[in-house]
Amino acid sequence: MKSLYEDLPPVEIAGQKFVGRVLFGVLVLVSAVVGAVTGLLLVYTTDLPQVEALEAYRPSSITELYDDQGRVIGSFALQRRVVASYEDFAPVLRDALVSIEDKDFYRHSGINFWRIVGAAYHDIQSGGRVQGASTLTMQLARNLFLSPDRSFHRKVQEAMLAIQIERRFTKPQIFTLYANQIFLGHGVYGFEAASEYYFSKPAKALTLPEAALLAGLPKGPGVYSPINHPDRAVKRRNLVINAMMEDGKITAAQAADARSAPLILHLQHDPNSLAPYFVEEIRRYLENKYGADQVHQGGLKVYTSLDVDLQKTANQVVLDGLAAYERRHGWKGNLENVIAEGTAIDKYQDPDWDEEPEVGGYVHALMTSSAVGIATLKFGRYAAALGQADVAWTQGKIPNLLHVGDICYVKILSLNPNGAARVSLEQDSGAQGALIAIDNAAGGIKALVGGRDFNESKFDRATQALRQVGSSFKPYVYTTVIDKGGSPNDTVLDEPVTFETVSGPYSPHNYDEKFEGTITLRRALAQSRNIPALKLASKVGINSVINYAERFGITAKLPPYLPVALGAAEITLIEQTSAFSVFPNDGVRVIPRYITKVTDYEGRVMEEDYPEVKDVVSARTARIMTSMLREVVLHGTAVAAAKMPFPIAGKTGTTNDFTDAWFVGFSPSITCGVWVGFDEKKSLGAKETGAHAALPIWMNFMNAAMAGKDPGQFEEAPMVPSMSFGQKLDTADTAAGADETH
C-alpha cells in the first residue's frame, strides 16, 4: 500500500509537515492563552462584589433642614449629594458627559475593546502606567466597589464588574447611578448637587456652557476647578464642547457661541451659614436621637420652626446693633497684622472668605496697599478702597489707623460682579449679642442668633450662656404679688431701707439714686425701681418668687437671696424669652421647640412634634402683668419703643457695672429677647443699659417681623380693687421674710 507522500516531491512533503507542526503549536499556544486568561479571570473575579447589591443601592445623601415655609436652611452630609433621576439631568448634560467620557456608551456592553487596545499601546510606547480607556460603566464600578489605584489587577476587575452591571441594568439606570455618584470637587458629589453648588440651579436647567463645564470635571475635579483654576476649567469646557460638535450633538454655530461664553458662577451660599447656631442645636439633638451615621448619610428631611426671613432680619439687626455700640465707644485699634506674624499678603486666606459675601454683611478684610489718604482692602475675590470720609467716625487719619497687612472689620455696602466693592470701616472689640424670637401660639423658635460670628465661636449665647438678667427678673416678683391677690394700683413706699439678713445689713439703692415716695406697683415696675421690688419680694418671700420663676420655666438654680429679686440670678436668654411668652398667652407656657417633623429618605415620618403646653398662672394674672409691662414701653424705661405701630410690652434689664444689657418683650403673636455683653464679665461702658444697648436691636427686629401682618391686640386686663395689698406692704416690717433672704 502506498504512503500518502510517495508521489509528492521531497520539498512539498517537508513543507506540509512544517505547516502541521505550526498549526499544532498555534493550537497549543491558543489553549495555553485561553487557559491562562481563564485562570487569571478566576483569580481576579473570586473576590468581586455582587452587582446585585446595586438594585438596592442608595448613595449617601444629604440630610436637609427646612424652615416653616419649606425653604432649605441647612444640611448635614459626609458627601454633599442630591440624588436625582435620569430625567432630572438635562439632555445637554447627558450629551456632554457621553461625548467627553464615553462616546460609545449607548452601544458598548460595558467595555470598549478598541479604547483599551489604544490605551495599552500608549502605555507600551510611553512606558507609563495603565492609562484611561474606562467607560462610564467601568468608572461606576470603580467608584462603587474598587480602589482608585491604576494597577492591571484593578483594571481587569473593573472590566468584569462593568460587564455584569451592563447585563443587569439599562443604560439610563447606569447613567443615573454614575451621575449621582461621581465626585465633582469642593465636597460635591453628583451632577445635581454640583449644578446647585456652582450655578445655584437644578441640573435640569443647565445651559450648554454650564453643562460642558460640569462634564469636564470628572477627569480632575481639583485640576479643573472653576473656582480655583478658572482658566483650566474654561479650556476643559471648550474641549467638551468640541467633542459634542464632533459627535453631531451641537452645531458649529452653537459650539462657537458656547466657547466664547464667559465663565459665570453663581456659587450657592452655604445654607448652614444662615442660622448656624440654630442648625447646630438641631445637629446635636438629631445625633443624640438617631446617631451620627443616620444624620450625615441617611438623607433625612427635617422640618423646623425657623422663618428664613425673620432669621435674616435677626442676623442683620444684631450685627448692626453691635456696630452702633462699637462706634459709640470709639476706635480702639489693636489690629492683627499678618506680615508681623510672618504670613505673606498674597498667601493669607481668612475663614470669612470661604463663603460668598452679601451686601449688608460684615467680614474681615486685609489691607493690601495704601496711597495718600486711601487704603486698599481685599476680602475673597473682592477689593475695596477706603477714603478718609469712610473712617470719619474714628476721628483718626487712615495712615494712623491702618497699615499694610492689617486685618480689619468692615461692613459691605455694595458688590460689583467685576470684583469691586464698597465697604465701611467697623470694629470688633469682642462685644457679643444674642437674639431669640418665639412664636407665642406654637412655641416655635422663629429666629436665633447666638453670637457675632459662628466661625470664630461656636458657643451659643442664646441657649448656653448663663448671664445675670438684671431688672428683667422683676416681672416674676410682680407676678407673685398679683397672683396672690395684688393690684397694679396698690402702692408701695419708695424710700431708703435696710434689710437685716444673716449675712448682715443690706441697704439697696435705686439706679438714679433717688426715691419717689409712695408709688403704685404699675409705676414701680415701669420705672424699674429697685426698692419697691425688694420690698415686694421680702413681703411675699423670696422663695415664693423663685417658685414662680420656676413655674415660668426657669431651670437655673436660683439662690434664696433677696438680691435675686433685682436680677442677681443667671438665666439663659431662651428661658427668659420663653418665660415672657406666658404673659401674652393668658398664663400658658408653650415649651420652645425647634423641630416640627422628621422623615426618613423614603418619606416615612420618624417623629412629629406638637406644641407642649403648661399652665403657669391664671389668665387674670397674665393680663394684668401684660398691662403693667405695656406701661414699661409707654411711660417707663423702654419708652423709646412707645411709637412702634403695634401693641408691645416688655422689660429692660441692666446688671451692675453695665456688664449685661437685656430687653425681653412681646407682641400678641411673638416674643423676642435680646442680650448684649462681653463673654468675659466686663463692663460695656457707662450708660450702656438695656434700653440703650439691647432695646434698639429688639425694635429693629420687631418692626421687620410685624411688617405687613395683622398685629392683633392684647386681651384687656380685668378691673382689680386697689390699695388693700399695698397698704399692708406700706406698714409691713421691712425685716419680714428675713429668714428667706440670707
Active site (catalytic) residues: 101, 471
**DSSP run (H or E) holding 39:** helix 10-45
3-state secondary structure 347-363: HCCCHHHHCCCCCCCEE
Contacts of residue 135, defined as CB under 8 A and 6 or more positions apart, other chains included, come to 102, 104, 105, 108, 110, 111, 112, 115, 162
Alpha helices in 329-391 (DSSP H): none
Letter for the amino acid at 143?
N
Q: At 489, list the grid cell.
A: 394700683
- Cα(272)–Cα(41) distance, rounded to whole angstroms? 49
Contacts of residue 498, defined as CB under 8 A and 6 or more positions apart, other chains included, come to 505, 506, 507, 734
- Cα(198)–Cα(205) distance, rounded to whole angstroms? 13
First-residue to last-residue Cα distance in the chain: 138
Nearest to 79 by CA among 175, 179, 183: 183
Per the document, the length of the chain is: 742
- Cα(569)–Cα(323) distance, rounded to whole angstroms? 28
- Cα(376)–Cα(406) distance, rounded to whole angstroms? 11
**Cα-based torsion angle of the residue sequence 35, 41, 47, 52 in order, rounded to the nearest 10 degrees:** -130
- Cα(550)–Cα(571) distance, rounded to whole angstroms? 11
Q: What are phi and psi of 503, to 5 degrees?
A: -95, 5
Residues paired with 434 in a beta bridge: 675
Judge whether 431 and 322 are in contact, CB under 8 Å: yes
- Cα(45)–Cα(481) distance, rounded to whole angstroms? 83
Contacts of residue 700, defined as CB under 8 A and 6 or more positions apart, other chains included, come to 313, 317, 320, 321
Nearest to 438 by CA among 321, 591, 549: 591
Letter for the amino acid at 437?
A
Judge whether 492 and 535 are in contact, CB under 8 Å: yes
Judge whether 126 and 11 are in contact, CB under 8 Å: no
Contacts of residue 454, defined as CB under 8 A and 6 or more positions apart, other chains included, come to 273, 276, 277, 280
- Cα(559)–Cα(468) distance, rounded to whole angstroms? 13
- Cα(616)–Cα(622) distance, rounded to whole angstroms? 9
3-state helix, strand, coil in the chain (%, to 5): 45, 15, 40
Residues paired with 665 in a beta bridge: 650, 672
- Cα(353)–Cα(104) distance, rounded to whole angstroms? 43
Alpha helices in 78-224 (DSSP H): 91-101, 113-126, 136-145, 152-168, 171-181, 191-199, 208-215
Crossing angle of helices 230-246 and 252-260, rounded to 10°: 180
Nearest to 409 by CA among 318, 329, 326, 316: 326
